[in-house]
Amino acid sequence: MAIAILVIFGLALGSFVNALVWRLREQEKSTKSKGHSKTGDLSILGGRSMCPECRHGLSVKDLIPVLSWLSLRGKCRYCSKPISWQYPVVELTTSALFVASYIWWPIEFNNFGLTNFAVWLVCLVCFVALTVYDFRWLTLPNRIVYPLIVLAAAMVVANVAVF
């Protein structure tokens, strides 16, 4: 049961990683162009998912990780432009990393172990986002790096305090 939940959770967060990476890049581009395009629709947590080409808002049936991409044959429902294979690969990879982390987790799953595991999964999402961003644009965005450093440092301090 735990593995099934992690698969679904990993697919959903893999989808979030794809949106995060694309939105961060678009925000950076609009900032460099003196903000000529609206960035409100590019909010990391509040914006609606959209096609990266035509920017049409996606419906619920377009947002099912991997399955939507497969059912649409890797093309946008609205503009028919290709959607990168990156999307299902990142979703599946994130899901696989969540399951692998669970299988080989070295700490007992008590309260402390579960908290550590949850923080690790957040770090893992950040690492996947950094990997995708770096692969696409050969740079690492500080908007992911700095929070990851703080989170990792807090995790280390908590672990030292407990052990």
Structure tokens at 6: 């992690």
Q: What proportion of the chain, given as a percentage, has pLDDT over 90?
A: 83
Confidence class for position 121, pLDDT limits 50, 70, 90: very high
What is the arithmetic mean of pLDDT over 97-111? 95
pTM: 0.91
For residue 34, pLDDT over 80 is answered with no
Average pLDDT, the chain: 92
Of 29-38, 67-76, 139-148, give the lowest mean pLDDT range.
Answer: 29-38
Q: How confident is the model at residue 48, as a pLDDT?
A: 85
Structure tokens at 129: 């986002």
Q: What is the DSSP letter of 64?
A: S
Q: What proportion of the chain, given as a percentage, has pLDDT over 70?
A: 96
CA 100, CA 85: separation in Å to the nearest integer?
22
67-79: pLDDT as tens digits: 999 999 999 999 9
For residue 36, pLDDT over 80 is answered with no
Q: How confident is the model at residue 139, as a pLDDT?
A: 96
Tell me the Cα Rg of the chain.
17
For residue 4, pLDDT over 90 is answered with yes
